[in-house]
Amino acid sequence: MDIPRLPDAELIIMNIIWCENREITSAEVIKMLAAQKDWSVTTILTFLSRLTERGFLTVRKDGRTNIYKAAVQEDAYIESESKSFLRHLHGNSLTSLVAALYKGDAISKEDLDELKAFIDGR
């Protein structure tokens, strides 16, 4: 299943919610983001609303408080994004991806050995 790609700002919010792994209020999200971003409350509420509209979050009301919960699980999103990345940038070639990372010094020989061990273990 292809899950739509999240813009970076919305992904930051989803990472907070995935990390908390529980229902979370908009006030909690705002407080957690205050240390990371200089976003207004209105901006954060807009992002939460968009994430809900797009099906990434569910929301329930408790009085005047909105309580959010992830509707898309982090591992499902990562899997979808990884497949999309591999398909679009490397023509579904894992070899192309690993070669590009190795040529760009993004991975080391030790990383390749670890990857080989993982593949051998499968």
pLDDT > 90 fraction of the chain, expressed in percent and rounded: 70
Q: Could you report the per-residue pLDDT of 39-90, keeping only the tens digit for each?
A: 999 999 999 999 999 999 999 999 999 999 999 999 999 999 999 899 988 8
Give the list of residues 6+ apart from residue 55 with CB closer than 8 angstroms, or none. 71, 72
Specify the residue for token string 């609303």.
49
Same domain, 58 and 88: no
Q: What is the pLDDT of residue 1?
A: 60
Boundary-marking domain end, from 55, 70, 85? 70
Q: What is the CATH number of the domain that holds 105?
A: 1.10.4040
What domain count does the chain have? 2
Which range marks the domain in which residue 28 is found?
8-70
Q: What is the CATH number of the domain that holds 30?
A: 1.10.10.10
Q: What is the pLDDT of residue 19?
A: 97
The answer to whether residue 63 sits within a structural domain is yes
**Beta strand residue intervals within 7-120, DSSP E:** 24-25, 57-62, 65-70
β-strands 24-25, 65-70: how paired?
A: antiparallel
